Amino acid sequence: MRVHPISPERLAELLADRIADLSADGRRTRVALDGAPAAGPGALADALVEPLRLRGRPVLRVSAADFLRPASVRLEYGHQDADAYHDSWLDDGALLREVLDPLEPGGTGRVLPTFWDPATDRATRAGYLELPPGGVLLLDGPLLLGRRLPFELTVHLALSPAALARRTAAEERWTLPAFARYQAETDPSALADLTVRCDDPRHPALIEP
């Protein structure tokens, strides 16, 4: 295992280089930025957009938060059930059907960027977008690994239990047992291609096997 302290800016450049290399043969590349909201996977995904475009890679940003199940399923056991959050909030089927499968080799490349609005509990009615060959999908969200979702690169943003508790908003602390379970049952750092330790977001560290 190699641990490399790195600046956030250099981290984005390094990841952009690796992703651009994966798509050099013209295939579409699906990248998962996995981590608790407190770890900022969405911010890292956003930080990769411009570096990838400068490397000639079209980019499509999608968030798992826009692919949740309806409230009748998601909140069946209440608004703060950590096991339900872990097991059944994400609509894996919709994410596969509308985002990941179309980007397989020979796929249409037509992606639905959002599917369900949890605020209104209705379909977003978004239009389809086409990611051209050589393009990159950046998908951010929590609890993405261990679900047999197809990605060409997975990056896990890791927090120690103390940092996770400290940086999780008070109204979201009920999710902490879900992340403890994720660590114990899935071990995302072992599954990810790359792990970024981000207890201090100003001073991340890249961990490679």
Separation in Å, CA 161 to CA 70, 188, 193: 30, 14, 21
SS3 for 4? strand
pLDDT means per 10 residues in the chain (209 residues)? Answer: 88 96 92 98 97 97 98 94 97 97 96 96 95 97 97 97 96 98 97 95 86
Phi, psi values for residue 118, rounded to 5°: -65, -20
- For the entire predicted model, the pTM comes to 0.95
Rounded to the nearest angstrom, the gap between the alpha carbon of residue 159 and the centroid of all alpha carbons in its chain is 15
pLDDT at 4: 83
Q: Do the beta carbons of residue 153 and residue 18 sit within 8 Å?
A: yes
Cα 145-208-157 angle, rounded to 5 deg: 45
pLDDT at 209: 67
SS3 for 38? helix
Give the separation between CA 192 and CA 153, rounded to whole angstroms: 8
pLDDT at 187: 97
Q: Do the beta carbons of residue 173 and residue 165 sit within 8 Å?
A: yes
Reading the block at residue 91, the tokens are 């609509």
